[in-house]
Amino acid sequence: EWFDWAKEVGVHQPSQVKEALHAFYEKVNQAGLSEFIQGIKTLKNWQPEILNSFAFNYSNGFVEGLNNQTKVIKRDAFGFRRYDRFRLKILLHHQYKHTKDFQVG
């Protein structure tokens, strides 16, 4: 619930998002569940980054997707003898991946 709410109001009311997160910390501490308490430690360690993700609404998902595709090409390209051809295959894939008429192969 907090996450969905924070996505809606985080850009306009970051201080309220932070207050609600701290209220969640208190609820978890009152419940006394060790697994959740460990999870809260992780959230506290990454709290600035988590709150910034709601305040600024940026994501590195696109770049992570490119990295994943490159790793798949690398895994499938076992046996490339020349690095320059391997590099060109990656560059061609990312440049033409949305073109229906082009297939790297």
The token duo for 51 is 């709150």
Per-residue model confidence (pLDDT) at position 104: 46
| pLDDT tens sequence across 59-82 | 888 889 989 988 988 887 777 788
* Report field, pTM of the whole predicted structure over 0.85: no
pLDDT at residue 46 tops 60:
yes
Percent of the residues in the chain that have a pLDDT greater than 90, as a whole number = 16
Unique residue bearing structure tokens 């430690």: 41
Calculate ∠ Cα 89-93-94, nearest 5°: 125
* Comparison of pLDDT for 98 and 52, the residue scoring more: 52
Residue 82, CB-side half-sphere exposure with 13 Å CA sphere: 4
